[in-house]
Structure 1
Amino acid sequence: MDFHEVRFPTALSFGSLGGPERRTEVVTLANGFEERNTPWQHSRRRYDAGVGMRSLDDVEAMIAFFEARQGQLYGFRWKDWSDYRSCRASGAVTCDDQLLAEGDGTTTKFQLVKNYVSGPHSYQRPVAKPVENSIKVGRDGTELSEGDDWICDPVTGLVTLNEAPAPGERVTAGYEFDVPVRFTVDTIQTSVASFQAGDVPNIPVLEVRV
């Protein structure tokens, strides 16, 4: 996949509109009941990168970033300010934020995930673009040492432990992360006059599977 490991300017993504999108197929039966199904295991996120622009310098930075990605051709990292950490929005990242798995005595590789829980139901989201130097890994509540005990690939979000956890041991992690996205258009239309009048361009961005 064509992807640049570069983050969209965070000053421009701050204040942008967007969030998760699901695809649900709804069939209404003759008796009025519904059957619902989804072809997607995971949601995709959409954003509008134009909303965060506040000056002509921002427009220039946007155009430069767009040209460097060659429009839709190359994906890039996006900071979703409403959901970019493994902990609660008001908390601090710790090694015990998210349960990755329980040890089986042989497995040493674990994918970073974020668990969304509401009542008895939950959704587990794979995290493929963690932010380097923000990752903490723990085992049964004890923080492990990066390098000595584990390494993490920031391109895939795959954590590798130097020693396989014993059966039943909890492998946990905390981190900040980005969303892999791309532009969904190959054209950006800007006007100095309209921008100064408060009319910002619409620049849609879509999460990609990696």
Structure 2
Amino acid sequence: MGEMAFHEIRFPANLSFGSVGGPERRTEIVALTNGHEERRTPWAHSRRRYDAGLGLRSLDDVAALVAFFEARAGQMHGFRWKDWADFKSCAPGAAVSFQDQEIGMGDGVRRDFALRKAYASGPARYWRPVAKPVEGTVLAGAGHVELRAGVDFAVDMATGVLRFAAPPEAGAVVTAGFEFDVPVRFDTDRIAVSVASFQAGDLPQVPVVEVRL
């Protein structure tokens, strides 16, 4: 998706608060004649889906949703989405720290490091790329020493790439902490709302899907 097709604006966070969503994986399963099965996935990364309709509380909320939908030209332009269940580099109840996530190892030359978040369980670990950090929330360090934002490092908010003013020393663990949004688009070309049904508690379905950048 090109830069023109992505708008660096967040869907109203108060509307996404009540949404339901989470990661989706694709697995191809082939049953073998001996009763075993082969499993493989064409996706290196999961993709998240949400329903933006569930967070609507009033007709004013519906109007805000419709305005946002129109301004994005429906499915045309991507946008930022706050996933209230997963928007920090640390546990939901913890405070962001510069040592939350390991994003690389210094070699004395490299200055650019991409933000990422680990999901670990047992011996398995999945690294999720983080391309849309939230302005003013990114902390970083090298060799267990916290560095200063805007002085020792800068962050590209559109790509999630962190650039150090001086390359971290060889062998120094590079870490970061941050809040982040999910890059998404609407997964429908229409929003159907009836005032009577909305007042009766029937919420419109407004699917939103994560985009690859």
TM-score norm. by structure 2 comes to: 0.97
Match of 1:136 in 2: 139
Match of 1:15 in 2: 18
SS of aligned partner of 1:63: helix
SS of aligned partner of 1:81: coil
Q: Alpha-carbon deviation of 1:141?
A: 1.7
Q: List aligned pairs for 1:57-96, cutoff 5 A.
A: 57-96=60-99
Match of 1:46 in 2: 49
Match of 2:179 in 1: 176
Amino acid of the residue matched to residue 48 of structure 2? R
Q: Alpha-carbon deviation of 1:167?
A: 1.5
Amino acid of the residue matched to residue 195 of structure 1? F
Deviations 1:148-173 (A, max 9, x none): 21000000000000111112101000
Count of matched residue positions in the alignment of Structure 1 and Structure 2: 210
Residue 106 of structure 1, aligned match among 106, 109, 128: 109
Amino acid of the residue matched to residue 165 of structure 2? N
Match of 1:167 in 2: 170
SS of aligned partner of 1:85: coil
Determine whether 1:198 maps to 2:201: yes
Amino acid of the residue matched to residue 91 of structure 2? R
Q: Alpha-carbon deviation of 1:3?
A: 0.5
SS of aligned partner of 1:100: strand
Distance 2:45 2:63 in 1: 34
Q: Alpha-carbon deviation of 1:83?
A: 0.3
Structure 2 unaligned residues grouped into runs of 5+: none
Distance 2:90 2:157 in 1: 18
Amino acid of the residue matched to residue 69 of structure 1? R
**4+ runs deviating over 6 angstroms:** none
Determine whether 1:97 maps to 2:94: no
Distance 1:147 1:53 in 2: 38
Distance 1:134 1:142 in 2: 17
SS of aligned partner of 2:198: helix
Distance 2:144 2:172 in 1: 10
Amino acid of the residue matched to residue 53 of structure 2? G
Residue 24 of structure 1, aligned match among 2, 27, 39: 27
Q: Alpha-carbon deviation of 1:140?
A: 1.8
- RMSD between aligned residues: 0.6
SS of aligned partner of 2:93: coil
